[in-house]
Amino acid sequence: MDTLLKVYDLVLKNGWVIDPSQSLNGRFDVAIDNGRIAAISNRLPPHRAKQTVAVNNLIICPGLIDLHTHVYRGTTIFGLNADDIGINAGITTVVDQGSCGYLTFQGFKSNVVDKAQTDVRSFPLVNQGPDGKSGNAGVGIQSPELVDKEALIELAEKYPKIVRGFKVHGESGSISRWGMGVLKLARELGDKTGLPLYVHTGELFRVDEDFRPNPEDVVEKLLSYMKSGDLLAHCYSSKPDGLMGTATKVPDSVMEAVQRGVLLDLGHGLNFSFEIADRMMSQGVLPDVISSDVHGDFETPYNDSFLKYSLCGAISKLMALGLDLVSAIASVTINPARVLKAEAEIGTLQIGSRADITILELLQGDWLFHDSQGKQLGAKQKLMPVWVVRAGQLIQPNCHFLRDLNEKVG
Ligand SMILES: [Zn+2]
């Protein structure tokens, strides 16, 4: 009889499965075979498993996706190692936002995508300079003259699995110099390829003061170039030209954009404000996607000592601000998977999908979080990754870059 028993590579036993893609929220065993999800059941039929892990009291969810990272290490001075902030931070898929352009994509593919154990995707920067410079190259990278539409379309066609959208900046520095030229070209690219635009908001580049746009008009201007499925990054930014600016009521233009399907991404980074988040969330404006925008220092090469935030930290902070656990998990699994149009493969635990899984512990206690302005927020819960499964392989993350979760109270 023994020969008739189903044999699995790995069984995760008695976990708390949260998979918003299938509205699953309960106690289940998850069986993995041949790098795929083989079964989810509250009682697996008699079977043998090469490896069984009891995950009692831990959350099993689809492998986390971080939609905004910078991992072109070696070419950009602020790029991080993809596996350090990927699998070693509990994340199975990372998306690099704009660290490469069409001229430097090949290096990104061979040095990062092909080498990392983490699944790495890219939104190339639409206006990266002809010298291949990316990163803090000053105002040069903003010019619409640097956009080679044909080359970018070709890149997207040649690498459909990796290139899943385009990164563009919509902030006061670039608008003061180039008006809406880059956005206009990005729109054409989006229309031609059917890929989403990921639009940075909040002042970033040096502003030509003679032509500084009215901060309250900036987001409204951007939105006229954005369609359903495009993303506004840094939705809770403290910058005056961000979504909220200094307003107390969420601007009508932002409300209308949300209604017509423009998506909001946290993009934690250096401008996340608890106060703005609180103001917008209390008016019902929640993030569709939670991402980290992890990167090293822009000025000092390969210096990550300033990195004090993480994806699991960002999720925990939004939960402390009132976001419920299931919505929080959706915003790092199925929602970004849909942005990548990869929801048949990732962001889900559906039978047959790739076995990319994150196992989290929901810790109870007293913690203190900080936003990018140093404001404090008390929290009673935090989410820490315990294991990841990447294409069926069980890995213990080293959590080196989860500094915001490792801080003690006080
Ligand atoms: Zn970024």
Can you give the pLDDT at residue 135? 43
Report long-range pairs for 398-402 (Cβ below 8 Å, ≥24 apart): 398/88, 399/88, 399/89, 399/90, 400/84, 400/88, 400/89, 401/80, 401/84, 401/85, 401/88, 401/89, 401/294, 401/304, 401/307, 401/310, 402/89, 402/90, 402/310, 402/312, 402/313
The angle that helices 181-193 and 149-158 make with each other, rounded to 10 degrees, is 30
Is 13 within the bounds of a domain?
A: no
Task: Please tell me the distance between residue 167's alpha carbon and the centre of ligand 1 in angstroms.
Answer: 9
CA 51/CA 310 separation, integer angstroms:
30
- For residue 276, what are the domain limits? 62-339
pTM: 0.96
Is 194 within the bounds of a domain?
A: yes
Is 399 within the bounds of a domain?
A: no
Task: Please tell me the distance between residue 203's alpha carbon and the centre of ligand 1 in angstroms.
Answer: 13
Is 34 within the bounds of a domain?
A: no
Can you give the pLDDT at residue 4? 76
Tell which wins on pLDDT, 147 or 316: 316
Can you give the pLDDT at residue 345? 97
User: Has residue 410 got a pLDDT over 50?
Assistant: no
User: For residue 311, what is the domain's CATH number?
Assistant: 3.20.20.140
User: In total, how many domains does the chain have?
Assistant: 1
94's enclosing H/E stretch is strand 91-97
Task: Please tell me the distance between residue 175's alpha carbon and the centre of ligand 1 in angstroms.
Answer: 18
Task: Please tell me the distance between residue 405's alpha carbon and the centre of ligand 1 in angstroms.
Answer: 21
Is 291 within the bounds of a domain?
A: yes
Task: Please tell me the distance between residue 284's alpha carbon and the centre of ligand 1 in angstroms.
Answer: 25
pLDDT in tens, 197-255: 999 999 998 899 999 999 999 999 999 999 999 999 999 999 999 999 999 999 999 99
Is 373 within the bounds of a domain?
A: no
Is 245 within the bounds of a domain?
A: yes
Is 400 within the bounds of a domain?
A: no
Task: Please tell me the distance between residue 351's alpha carbon and the centre of ligand 1 in angstroms.
Answer: 34
pLDDT in tens, 122-151: 999 998 765 555 444 455 566 888 889 999
